[in-house]
Every structure is written in C-alpha cells, then in structure tokens.
Structure 1
Amino acid sequence: MSVMDRFAAARLLAAARAPYLASALFALTPLVHEDAVGACADANWNLHLSPATAQAIPVEELAWSLLHQVGHLLRDHLVSGRDGVTWNTANDAEINDDLGAAPATAVTPDRLGLPSGLMAADYHRLLDLIDVPSELTPCGGAPFTGPAVMSALERDLLARAVASRIRGEAPYGWRRWAESVLRPSVDWRRALAFLVRRGLSRGQVDYSYRRPSRRGLPHVVLPAMVRPSPRVVVLADTSGSLGEPALRRVLGEIEGVLRACGHRGVEVICCDAAARPVQRVTRAAEVELVGGGGTDLRKGFEAADAPRPDVVVALTDGDTPWPERRRRAHVIVCLVDARGTPDVPPWASVVRVAA
C-alpha cells in the first residue's frame, strides 16, 4: 500500500471515530517528503508526512495522529505564538485528553499525573510543579511551512462548521472548544426575548395546543399562551473597510443570532455598495460573505424590507450612509471594529462588539 493509500485509509478511519471532525480531516493537504518527521501539520493546514514513518506505523496509529494534528489546528495551537517544549507538552495534554488510545510515548494528563479536563494554559502552569516522564514526547508542529491553501477567514469558516456539528456525544474538551468558537459577544437570546416581550413580533401573544396548559380541566385539554419568535433579517456589512478579523466577528454574531432563534434559519443580506441576494441559512458557516467594495447600507435596508422582518440586525463598522426614515422593523446596529463614534440614527438600538 502506498503512502497516500495509507493516508487515505487512516483519514477515513479517523473520520469514522470522530465524525464531527470529518470536514477538518478532509481539509488537510498531505505533503509527502523525506524531510518530514512523522506526521506533523503546519499552520497552513498542510500535513507533512515522512514516507518511512507512514509505511512503518499501523493505519490505526496514523488515524490517531491525524486526529491529534487536527486538534492542534482547530485550537490554534500552531498560530498562538506559544512554542517551546513546555507549551507543546501542555497543548498535547489538552488534545490527547479527548482522544483516548494514545500511543505509548504520547503526552496525556494521566501519564503526567495531572487531572483531566483542563485547558492548555492550566497544564502549562502545572508542568512547572512536576517532572515530565522522559519517555513522553510532545509532538509540536512541523518545523517548516507549506503553501497557504486557505485564508484566515476560510479557516475560521471551517472551524465554525466543525463546531456547529459537535453535540453531546463528543468529548468534553471538544464541546468546550465548540462553545468558545460559537459564543457571540452579544447575548442575542436575551436581546430578542426582550423585543418579543415588547410586542415587536407579529401576532403578539396567542393560544396554542402545541404546549397544553397545565391548568387543564379533567378530560379537557386547554391551550397555553405562547409568544411567537420574531422574524430576523441579518444585514452584514461586507465592504472593503472591514478586514478579515472584523468579518470573523460578523460570523460569530450571525451564529449567535441563529442560536437565539433556535437554528430555525434566518435571512442574511450581504451589502457593500449594493445589496446582494438574500441567503437563507441555519449555520454561520453557510454564509457566503460577498462584497468588498464601497459602503451604502441604505441599499441593504431597502432589500431587508422585502422579507417583512420584525427585527433587522445590522453588523457593520458604522462607516456608511444611513436611511433617513425609521424602518418598520426594529433595528439593532451591532458595531464591529467601529472607529470613533459612528453617527447611528436615533431610531436604532446600538451595541458594540468587543475586539
């Protein structure tokens, strides 16, 4: 079996063991060369494979290594600026805590005599208090970097796509990571619930048999009072004034809105100098951020009127002309990387996203 065949078999096995990581595993670009040591990834999502190692180790162990390397990449260990043996050991302890069946020389919290379930920073502090067994070898990243196959924004989209697929059956460390990736700066659940309490959702309050009243009479089922969820349209500023870090925060807030809406789906309109077609999405990773020109959110607000929303969430740096008249929907302007104090109209609610 060739090196690439063994890699393909190991990747399929790894995806079967951790299906929530499948999209990350298939994003790896294998580079087979003699200078590689084992199987190590670089920050550009290239996997450097040594032909000798790939042929020598069992496919099951290579599958474990792929999951380990994906753990480094998704948790940004290779771009954090923290290196050295101690940090590599701490990073490995955090990742391998979730993998199980580790090779004999792999670093795990149990083999270090440390508690499980901690973050790399916690293990880093504790490593100063212990002697690391000499037979344990942290892997670290590849000593050289291959070509860039994804932009920073594409890597962020991939991470969000992976995080959105992680559920309760995943190990605790991966669930904790997913929560941190998908956590927005704004508590959209509370914000939208407040708007519903103010009666901004069409239909106001009504009766429903979906959730029967607890005060039902004997042999009689009575309806309960329910509040409908507001219809939300997200207006995403994709003009050239927003760089990739700001666009990543835009995606984070879109994910927060979706979670507040129960992932039933929202309409997203990207806008630079023109409004782009409406995108109906259930996950932020599905959003195609199109644009890059000048800024005129007035076009976006006009396009947002068509779905007749209850709430329009405008994610922008505020450097744009604004509509002169109040909108029918309630407007929340979420300022991302705003410079100074943008002149937001008084009829809009304003929140700021921390950098």
Structure 2
Amino acid sequence: MTLTAAPEPSERPADRFAAARLWAAGRAPYLASALFALTPLVYDTAPPRLPADEYWNVHLSPETVRDTPVPELGWWLLHQVGHLLRGHHARAEPYREPEERLRWDRAADAEINDDLGAGPDGVISPDALGLPDGLLAERYAELLDLIDVPQELTACGRPPFTGPGMMTALERELLARAVAAEIEARGGLPGGWRRWAEARLRPEVDWWARLAALVRRGLAEAAGRVDYSYRRPSRRAAAAPSIVLPALVRPSPRIAVVVDTSGSVGRTTLERALGELDGVLRAAGHPWIEVICCDAEAHPAQRVRAAHQVQLTGGGGTDLRPGFDAAAGADVMIVLTDGDTPWPERRPRPYVVVCLFGDRWEAPPWARAVRVQEPA
C-alpha cells in the first residue's frame, strides 16, 4: 500500500478522523464495516498512532490528528482494525510482564503490517525485522527472542486506559464474522486476511488447546516459586554438624477448580468441560482434581481422580466470590462459568484461568480467559 495524498479537511479532529476513515475504506473496502464500527474518543493525553482499546474505541489526540496527514491517519486506522479483528487484546494475556508485553506488541504489529504494505517510517514489519511473512504473532514473539530489533522500529503500543465499552462481546463476534465473510467472498486479497477469515469461519483449534497452554504456563510459574525449608536439611549442614541449614525446595503446585453450579449453566456443558480439563491436568502430570462447586455459596471441596467422579452440587443463585475464597490457597485456579457473577474486587493470589461458556459475559481483567466452544 502506498500512502497517496488526500484532500486535507478542516482542523477539527472529528472531520479529520472521518476523512481518514473514508480514505482507509477506499483502500481496503473489505474492512469497511469494521472501520465504521470504530468509535473516536478525543483525549488531550492520548498517545500517537491512534491506539484502540478492545471495545473498538480509537483514542485520539487533537494535536496528533491535526499534525498527521490524512492518508497516514487512515493507515493507522487499518492497522488498529487489524489488531481488533485478530483478537490481539485477548491473545496478549500470556504476555503480561513489561518485557514480554513489548515483545508481544512488536509481534502483533508484525502479524498485521505484512498485509498493509508500505506504511509510515519506523513501523514494525516482518521485512524490516528480517523475518518471514505470513506468521502469527505468537511465532513472531518466539523469533523476536533471537534477534536484535533495530532502534528505529517502534511498536504502536496500547492506550493507557480503556474507554467506555460501546460494543458487547456478542456484537464484536458478529462483526468479525461479517468481515470474514466479506473477505472470503472477494478474491486477490492479502494472504494474512484470507487465512484469518478461513480460521474465523471454520476454526480448527479447539478451545481446550488454549486452555492447556494457559494451565501449563500457570503450573510453570507456580513451580518456579522455590523457598527454603527445614523439612529437607541442606547438604552443606554436613560440614557443620551443630548447625541445621534449610534446603531450597520446589513445592508441587496445588490446582483448584471452581465450578459455577448455579442454574444458568447447564450440567451437560459443565460435565463436558470437566472431562476436557481432566485430560489437560493429566497431561500436565496432575492425577488429582480438587473441585469446589459454587452457586451462591462454596460447597465442600471434592478431591477426585477423574472428572466423572465429581458430584455437581448447587443450583441456586450465582456468586463465585465464596468459591474464590475457598480456593485462595491454590497456586493455579481454574474457573468454569458463564461469567454472570460478581467477581472479587482485588486480583487473587493464584494464577487464574476462567473458562467462559457463551458470549454474553466477560472475565475480569486480571484473569486469563478461554471462550469455551459449544459443540455444533
């Protein structure tokens, strides 16, 4: 794509945003419905490059919008639509530490920008990094560990805050499917968009694969928490028999599964999810499952060897906070719910993975979320 000139509108941010959106829609008409779903929010402190939050709000600074040519503004709108449609906000969850976050931002930019062609100076692209085209951000993130990123290349970054949620999860899903159908109906489009549309309309990776990856990550983090213990004396104590020194121990991570057994979640759905989770934990080397059923109260924990041994108790209202309290001593907590519940106000100590049934509700920002796919 070449950033060709366009007539300059008035200095008003709203007018320049509208002109940039029209320019972008003309360049990529298959993304027009996504471009016109964006909501501009003007802030004095908004960063450059028009970052967008997961609710499809574009954060604008009057100064940036005034000083940036319309074609460049339009290019950044196409870039942000790419982040949103490809779910980069949700896929960024495993990359939460500052260094990992920067690596993910660069990798996500590389996934998008190879389909946009020539852009403003300094943008990240596979070609600028010396990496192959057509990879997913997760693969670029791995490769970025092996190279030195040139200083002049910068990732677009994220907004420092989130605007009001203008689009529900269901609306976002319907929009993404509509864009995917539009892309599939056209020919001659960039390969990355064609592959994305194919995967969106006919997904090949089951939800449990993402769950397995998040659980393995949580177990790895928990297993890394070593501490000193006098239960296993240090071998160095042999050199000084009168002194007992503690040894470093690596505790076996404790996993708790909190199951939403309120009336809003079907038992068949829960049993299926528990069965999948059973396989995930066994593959990770954990033969036991500690399950806490919770509706409006936490029921006694059940420690079982197989998912089919779990007795699903409950059926009243929904408040999973007692379940979180009951599982507070775990290292990894896995929550099975439709999301229609009050959440703890503060981030719990355990590594939390929330398996969400349906599209109506969201997980809290401090949890890693997996959207469970219902069988066709």
TM-score computed with the length of structure 2 as normaliser: 0.50
Specify the alignment match of 2:108 in structure 1: 91
1:121 aligns with 2:138: yes
Cα offset, 1:353, TM superposition = 4.8
User: Does the 8 A contact of 1:97 with 1:117 survive in 2?
Assistant: yes
Specify the alignment match of 2:119 in structure 1: 102
Query: CA RMSD, aligned part only?
Result: 2.7
1:169 aligns with 2:188: yes
3-state SS of paired residue (2:89) = coil
Give the fraction of aligned pairs with identical amino acids, expressed as a percent: 61
Cα offset, 1:184, TM superposition = 5.3
1:140 aligns with 2:150: no
CA distance in 2, matches of 1:104, 1:122: 24
Specify the alignment match of 1:279 in structure 2: none
Specify the alignment match of 2:14 in structure 1: 4
Cα offset, 1:141, TM superposition = 1.8
CA distance in 1, matches of 2:13, 2:167: 24
Q: Report runs of 4+ in structure 1 exceeding 3 Å deviation.
A: 239-242, 352-355
CA distance in 1, matches of 2:135, 2:55: 26
Give runs of aligned pairs for residues 43-62 of structure 1, distance below 5 A. 43-62=54-73
1:73 aligns with 2:87: no
Structure 2 residue ranges without an equivalent (≥5): 1-9, 206-262, 271-356, 359-372
3-state SS of paired residue (2:82) = helix
1:23 aligns with 2:10: no
CA distance in 1, matches of 2:144, 2:67: 32
- Alpha-carbon spacing, 1:60–1:45, altered in 2? closer, same or farther (3 Å): same
**What code does the residue aligned with 2:202 have?**
R
Structure 1 residue ranges without an equivalent (≥5): 187-238, 247-336, 339-351
Cα offset, 1:79, TM superposition = 2.5
Specify the alignment match of 1:160 in structure 2: 177
Cα offset, 1:168, TM superposition = 2.5
CA distance in 2, matches of 1:142, 1:150: 17
CA distance in 2, matches of 1:21, 1:7: 16
**What code does the residue aligned with 2:152 have?**
E
Give runs of aligned pairs for residues 245-260 of structure 1, distance below 5 A. none
Specify the alignment match of 2:45 in structure 1: 35
**What code does the residue aligned with 1:94 have?**
E
Specify the alignment match of 2:249 in structure 1: none
**What code does the residue aligned with 1:70 have?**
V
Specify the alignment match of 1:345 in structure 2: none
CA distance in 2, matches of 1:43, 1:184: 21
For residues 259-294 of structure 1, give each alpha carbon's deviation from its aligned partner in whole angstroms, at most 9, with x where no partner exists: xxxxxxxxxxxxxxxxxxxxxxxxxxxxxxxxxxxx
Specify the alignment match of 2:200 in structure 1: 181
User: Which stretch has the larger CA shift, 129-138 or 163-172?
Assistant: 163-172
**What code does the residue aligned with 2:117 have?**
G
Give runs of aligned pairs for residues 323-334 of structure 1, distance below 5 A. none
TM-score computed with the length of structure 1 as normaliser: 0.53
Give runs of aligned pairs for residues 169-318 of structure 1, distance below 5 A. 169-183=188-202
- Alpha-carbon spacing, 1:354–1:143, altered in 2? closer, same or farther (3 Å): farther
3-state SS of paired residue (1:79) = helix
Name the count of aligned residue pairs: 199
3-state SS of paired residue (1:161) = helix
CA distance in 1, matches of 2:52, 2:86: 13
3-state SS of paired residue (2:33) = helix
User: Does the 8 A contact of 1:30 with 1:47 survive in 2?
Assistant: yes
3-state SS of paired residue (1:30) = strand
